Structure 1
Amino acid sequence: MQRLIYYISLPFIYLLSLLPFPILYRVSDGFYFVLFYVMGYRKKVALQNLRNSFPEKSEKEIKRLCRDYYHYLCDLFLESFKTLTIGRSAMLKRCTLSPAAKDIFDRYHSEGKSIMLVMGHFGNWEWAGNTFSLTCKQQLFVVYHPFGNKYFNGLMYRMRTRFGTGLIAMKDTFKDMVKNKAKITTTAFIADQTPQPDNAFWTTFLNQDTPVFRGTEKIAKKMGYPIVYITIKRLKRGYYNILAEVLSEDAKNTAEGEISALHTTRLEKDIREQPEIWLWTHRRWKHKRPAELH
């Protein structure tokens, strides 16, 4: 059944990918109407997340933010498929690396240092990976969760590696980083997913008790790599700029929880500046802080 669904879907996916951007965004407008007004996909989850995160905002502002988010979600979905066929020059035109960020990555490369990137599901992270691989000298590896459907997983793998990015399955992260230690690499962690509460670092994020994966920090301390935070700023529809900020030059010498707190604080700042481009339909706060950690 997985195979059948995949082969039925594939021609439509490629057709979407081949559409010129003006038409692609008209299609996205149609998807938005269906997703938000007809299906109401996870609308209750998104609205509750927004209310809890921005208690200072009126209900009118919350609902406008929610509509803006769903509009962006549809853009993001179709922009990601665009990666299957987009050319190098168009990719670099639509997602740029800021000169200051390029300087940071060039400096680490000239020093022969591998680095770790931390970021959230904020902006178009798929395009950011492409632009990094096309622009920077280091080999980029992105830590990811493989899809349950092996056929769609293969499609996503081809899409994400098309411009030279490497992928590391989350369960193999530390093993593969050790294996690649002789190379100058950049390993990217999308660090705003939801871990099990008992093994998490707990902090306050967007006014709520929030668990954070300890794995990113543990690996950073073991490898001793510099930690760089990435912001993918949306300039206008279909255009992004990648910013970078050094969080730590040497993770081994940071206090327990320091790296997790730093990147979570930076992500919150980004979300407050452009809230509509974060994943509000994600059940980020489904766990409660264990009583012994209060």
Structure 2
Amino acid sequence: MLTYYILLPFIYLISLLPFPVFYGLCDIMFVLLYYVIGYRKKVVLQNLQNAFPDKSPQEIEQIRRRFYRYFCDLLLETFKTLTISRETAIKRCKLTPEAQALFDRYAAENSSIMIVMGHYGNWEWAGNTFSLQGKHHLYVVYHPLTNKYFNGLMYRMRTRFGTGLIAMKDTFRDMVAHKSELDATAFIADQTPAPTSAYWTDFLNQDTPVFQGTEKIARKMNYPVVYVRVQRVKRGYYEISARTLFDQPSATKDGEITAAHTKALEQDICAHPEYWLWSHRRWKHKRPVPVKEAAVTASAI
């Protein structure tokens, strides 16, 4: 609690800084984080080496440095959400005309949708923009923070412009409760699930577990599944693009939705790798050995 109240004035001060001064602070933070503290540099390096085995050490180092520069922008841009105006929020992060038309079409059809995306670009600003420009009521599925004070701060930032939050454990129940509304429910689909309940696939040249809940809910609710990308246009400016992956999820096969949105994210990451969250310990689990295979191995010992 004490740490929260000590940091809170500084967080608000950062959010109020004019953008030129704000990004100057981001540059200072990059030097401290990258060269002095070395925050998770080994984790980021290992992730990049595993994901891009064909790239040279020099190329990997360039991506790592660009990632940390962007990571510092992203962290402080999150604080900007506390005080940013509606006009500035839309000016700096906007839907492409094609994305606006796609979402407007679903709204005109009175069709709720499911949005899938990754920790790519500024997903926090994207939520605000969608709530400001979209006709759907946006709900974002999230993991509540263990610290109730900082969780409350994040809740205020994310809901300032009307976005609703759904704790992951309550996702399906809350979506059923909101079924009479025109909703868009957003899933950040590149988090790390329990290995035994995950869908396993090849992602960035690595055996990777992916949450199956997004697909299971999509098939039950039969809401169109829309993949969203948040692309940085230049420093401090983003565009949100969108495309439909499945209009009738209930007609898909097991694993089809999960494979499609995972592949879409992989393509975006490969195009601009510095905008993904490489500091995340995405590959900390190994694929479980099937029971029959484990039994055969044990009997052979």
TM-score interval, normalised by the smaller of the two chains: over 0.9
* Structure 2 residue corresponding to 1:283, chosen from 266, 278, 281: 281
- The alpha carbon displacement at 1:121 in A equals 0.2
What is the TM-score normalised by the length of structure 1?
0.98
Match of 2:297 in 1: none
**Following TM superposition, where does structure 1 have runs of at least 4 consecutive aligned residues deviating by more than 4 angstroms?**
none
Q: Residue 10 in 1 paired to residue 11 in 2?
A: no
- The alpha carbon displacement at 1:288 in A equals 1.2
Q: How many residues of Structure 1 are paired with residues of Structure 2 in the alignment? A: 292
Say which SS state the counterpart of residue 71 (structure 2) adopts.
helix
Match of 1:155 in 2: 153
* Structure 2 residue corresponding to 1:204, chosen from 198, 202, 214: 202
Separation (CA, whole Å) in 2 of partners of 1:14 and 1:287:
37
- The alpha carbon displacement at 1:290 in A equals 2.0
Match of 1:216 in 2: 214
Q: Residue 52 in 1 paired to residue 44 in 2?
A: no
* Structure 2 residue corresponding to 1:169, chosen from 167, 170, 187: 167
Separation (CA, whole Å) in 1 of partners of 2:8 and 2:283:
34
What is the TM-score normalised by the length of structure 2?
0.96
Task: Report the aligned-residue RMSD.
Answer: 1.0
Q: Residue 102 in 1 paired to residue 61 in 2?
A: no
Matched residue type, 1:16: I
- The alpha carbon displacement at 1:39 in A equals 1.0
Separation (CA, whole Å) in 1 of partners of 2:164 and 2:207:
34
Match of 2:113 in 1: 115
Match of 1:189 in 2: 187
Structure number with bigger Rg:
2
Separation (CA, whole Å) in 1 of partners of 2:111 and 2:247:
10
Q: Residue 179 in 1 paired to residue 177 in 2?
A: yes
Separation (CA, whole Å) in 2 of partners of 1:134 and 1:149:
29
Match of 1:124 in 2: 122
In the TM superposition, what whole-angstrom CA distance separates every residue of 1:144-166 from its partner, at most 9, and x where no partner exists? Answer: 11111111111111110001111
Structure 2 residue runs of 5 or longer lacking an equivalent are: 294-301
Matched residue type, 1:6: Y
* Structure 2 residue corresponding to 1:68, chosen from 66, 69, 73: 66
* Structure 2 residue corresponding to 1:29, chosen from 27, 31, 34: 27
Matched residue type, 2:88: A
Matched residue type, 2:11: I
In the TM superposition, what whole-angstrom CA distance separates every residue of 1:67-102 from its partner, at most 9, and x where no partner exists? Answer: 110111110000010011111111111001001111
Q: Residue 250 in 1 paired to residue 268 in 2?
A: no
Match of 2:133 in 1: 135
Separation (CA, whole Å) in 2 of partners of 1:164 and 1:198:
36
Say which SS state the counterpart of residue 187 (structure 2) adopts.
strand
